[in-house]
Structure 1
Amino acid sequence: LNATKSSVAELKKVSQEAQSRHTLEGVQTLLFFDEIHRFNKLQQDALLHDIETGNLILIGATTENPYYHLNNAILSRCLAFEFQPLSEKSIEQRLTTILEQEKRIIATDIIHYVASIVEGDLRSAINRLELLLLQDQNLTLEEVKSLLPSQKSYHKTEDKYDTISALIKSMRGSDPDAAIYRLAKMLAGGEDPLYIARRIVIFAAEDVGLANPQALPLATASLAAAKELGMPGIRIPLAEAVIYLALSPKSNSAYKAINTALEHIAHAPLQPVPKHLTKLGKALYRYPHDFPQHRVDQNYLEIPLQFYTPCENKFETAAQERLKKIKKV
């Protein structure tokens, strides 16, 4: 069966035939289900009973990542085998065999070029070979390069998560060249610049944070630009933001502080707001601007807590020194 052309009704028919065959002949039915990812997860449920009972031996084929597109229930009952891209040498050998069978001749350097641009995809290589064989004239390598541009794959469902992860980790590791490479790959693959810009904003707050307070406004500016600009213009603001963030000092103190506070809120009793901070107790509130250094001692929590621990960087170190100084006043 092919999931692009089949329905659940056809699958049930196959199931009934398999059951009859098993009952009458004592043999199981092997079902090859091509493009299985094209069945949605609700339709895939129709396979579960037959797999569990052994009524069908399922072989599903897909060009997509099964862990994204198949039900966990099906995956837990099957073995997943990944077919790796073919080597350039293997593709060259297959194309040479086809030419010998067809009694056609194409220059070796052209065969090598075709094998090098398809990223291990034999079907794509054969399609390009067929196109060349349809030409009435012998083409030079440069003419072939013009006719058959290099194929660069970027899968927006699978590659995007690994690539954006690599972009984030490259910026976190202060490697601007690696970060720009990942950005370029995503843009060349047609990724939505807004998606990239949103992740850049999160990174600016999470990983650069208070080590460079200008990082977040710059990242936010790249997000605003992404809402107004398309390709190719948006590539420049995004590149500026990525390089700036990669070169910036790093701090995750704000990220850790809010996570620690949320964890505390989830598991500890909530503290009431001190009376002098409420509307009812406003007469008791001491207005910091009326005091030296715009600070005055008063409780903001009934039971003191600490969530923020500064990282070692110029801004946070200076801020801590200032806080210690005004507390002495």
Structure 2
Amino acid sequence: MNLFDKVYENKKPLAFRYRPKSLDDFYGQEKLVGENGILRKIIERGNFMNAIFWGAPGTGKTTLAEIVAEKMNYHYEYLNAIKASVTDIKEISDKAHNRFHTNGQQTLLFLDEIHRFNKLQQDSLLQDLENGNIILIGATTENPYYNLNNALLSRCMAFEFKKLSEKDLLKILKNINEKEKIGISNEILEYISEIIEGDARQAINILELIANVGVDFTLDEVKGVLNTKKSYHKTEDKYNTVSAMIKSIRGSDPDAAIYWMAKMLSGGEDILYIARRLVILASEDIGLANPQALSVAVAGLNAVKEIGMPEARIILSEVAIYLAISPKSNSAYNAINSALSHIENEKIQDTPIHLTKVGKKDYKYPHNYENHYVEQVYMNEKIKFYEFGENKFEMAAKEYFKKIKKNEK
């Protein structure tokens, strides 16, 4: 390395310069790359597979992909799904094909923020994964089981990257502090490790910021400058939290529902995401026990779109409380799931001829009969999918149908 290269290298951010170059230097993710970690064993055997790395920012997803490429002598390509296109994928694929048939070197494509790819873009990867033209490592801060196509997931192994512990963060900061001769006190390093919540990159950036200021800060001064508000990472925590909100509403606990909603709002969650989840819940869990619930949830969604924060919090709160204190029924949810399962696993019935245009002369128009009801065949083989729920609306409907069917007979 010449003098210019050394100067250039020293100008790079600390987080870049201290990125681990080997598995032994890698902090955190003990279950994945520790002594008995599954990814370490796979890498050491020298035959990697298509994978999805998912977890919070700063947990080592990009770093580990680079280590895999280096250790296994793969040609490394990086793309960010926000900027990349299907054309970019095809270009890398063609080069990978030529490279492999020229010198036998395989290509590892690291596709950052893979959840930003739409279905068409994700599908464009499938053929290359099938024929082994490229080895894919997709990285995402979102849960892949919610955000990636099943076709893509079925061709990849998904590995979750946990937030780094305070102990691991402190080791990283102490190592850099010592090697760079920054001279920041241990109590400040411990404080940074405590508030960052597992993001190594952010912790190192704060260390570098303090070092660049060139002032001997006290711990109280650092506390006054740094934002200590708890962050809300949009990874597994997002889905655990929204799950807690939904289950609290389903369990008729408005206080718990509002608490988990407040956590999401405080963390900057998309208010439309919350509103849409409430619309789904209104049908899935309240359903016909209170048909008005769906109207309330949809009105809430539309109002949130128009109003925005901070006032949207009130609308979301009203909807969540209304749903939580409403009677519950999942009869509609069960009925459609049961019907879909039957369609997928059993022989499909033919449409009764009198329900088609061809046989319409034999169709009995219910409104021409007393109580707007008449017995006739609506499916050739009668199958029960819907069961009346134990609530006022559905029980009243059940009694009504008993009465009109009795009268018909």
- TM-score, normalising length from structure 2? 0.58
- Counting only pairs closer than 5 Å after superposition, residues 1-329 of structure 1 correspond to structure 2 as 1-4=76-79, 7=88, 8-9=90-91, 12-13=94-95, 15-22=97-104, 29=105, 31-35=107-111, 40-41=121-122, 44=125, 47-48=128-129, 51=132, 58=135, 60=137, 62-64=139-141, 68=147, 72=151, 76=155, 80-149=158-227, 150=229, 152-155=231-234, 163-257=241-335, 267=349, 269-270=351-352, 272=354, 277=365, 282=368, 285-286=369-370, 288=371, 298-302=373-377, 308-317=386-395, 320=398
Residue 19 of structure 2 is matched in structure 1 by none
Task: Find the residue that maps to 1:194 and give its secondary structure.
Answer: helix
Task: Tell whether the 8 Å contact from 1:257 to 1:309 is kept in structure 2 after alignment.
Answer: yes
Q: RMSD between aligned alpha carbons? A: 4.3
Task: Tell whether the 8 Å contact from 1:41 to 1:70 is kept in structure 2 after alignment.
Answer: yes
Task: Find the residue that maps to 1:197 and give its secondary structure.
Answer: helix
TM superposition shift of 1:245: 1.5
Stretches of structure 2 that go unaligned for 5 or more consecutive residues are: 1-75, 356-361
Distance change >3 Å, CA 191–CA 272, structure 1 → 2: farther
Per-residue Cα deviation, 1:170-208 (whole angstroms, up to 9, x for no partner):
322334344334433443454442333233123212211
Measured in 2, the distance between the counterparts of 1:139 and 1:254 equals 61
Distance change >3 Å, CA 32–CA 144, structure 1 → 2: farther
Partner letter of residue 311 of structure 1? G
TM superposition shift of 1:219: 1.9
Distance change >3 Å, CA 9–CA 318, structure 1 → 2: closer
Measured in 2, the distance between the counterparts of 1:70 and 1:253 equals 29
TM superposition shift of 1:232: 1.1
Task: Find the residue that maps to 2:231 and give its secondary structure.
Answer: coil
Q: How many residues align?
A: 304
Measured in 1, the distance between the counterparts of 2:197 and 2:108 equals 27
TM superposition shift of 1:244: 2.5
Per-residue Cα deviation, 1:198-243 (whole angstroms, up to 9, x for no partner):
3312321221123234433332331231132101110111122112
Per-residue Cα deviation, 1:221-270 (whole angstroms, up to 9, x for no partner):
31231132101110111122112212332112234456667868x63643
- TM-score, normalising length from structure 1? 0.70
Task: Tell whether the 8 Å contact from 1:171 to 1:179 is kept in structure 2 after alignment.
Answer: yes
Task: Find the residue that maps to 2:132 and give its secondary structure.
Answer: helix
Task: Find the residue that maps to 1:4 and give its secondary structure.
Answer: strand
Measured in 2, the distance between the counterparts of 1:141 and 1:323 equals 73
The worse-fitting range, judged by mean Cα deviation, of 33-42 and 209-218 is: 33-42
Identity of aligned residues (%): 44
Distance change >3 Å, CA 327–CA 172, structure 1 → 2: same
Task: Find the residue that maps to 1:130 and give its secondary structure.
Answer: helix
Task: Tell whether the 8 Å contact from 2:112 to 2:140 is kept in structure 1 after alignment.
Answer: no
Task: Find the residue that maps to 1:231 and give its secondary structure.
Answer: coil
Task: Find the residue that maps to 1:3 and give its secondary structure.
Answer: strand
TM superposition shift of 1:92: 0.9
Distance change >3 Å, CA 248–CA 135, structure 1 → 2: same
The structure showing larger relative contact order (alpha-carbon pairs under 8 Å, at least 6 residues apart) is 2
Measured in 2, the distance between the counterparts of 1:213 and 1:73 equals 38
Stretches of structure 1 that go unaligned for 5 or more consecutive residues are: 23-28, 289-295
Task: Tell whether the 8 Å contact from 2:232 to 2:264 is kept in structure 1 after alignment.
Answer: no
Residue 292 of structure 1 is matched in structure 2 by none
| Higher CA-based Rg | 1
Task: Tell whether the 8 Å contact from 1:34 to 1:60 is kept in structure 2 after alignment.
Answer: yes
Task: Tell whether the 8 Å contact from 2:232 to 2:267 is kept in structure 1 after alignment.
Answer: yes
Measured in 2, the distance between the counterparts of 1:319 and 1:63 equals 48
Measured in 2, the distance between the counterparts of 1:232 and 1:176 equals 21
Measured in 2, the distance between the counterparts of 1:128 and 1:46 equals 43
Distance change >3 Å, CA 80–CA 177, structure 1 → 2: same
Task: Tell whether the 8 Å contact from 1:88 to 1:116 is kept in structure 2 after alignment.
Answer: yes
Per-residue Cα deviation, 1:37-91 (whole angstroms, up to 9, x for no partner):
6695466468548736xxx7x4736345667569957963x65544432211110
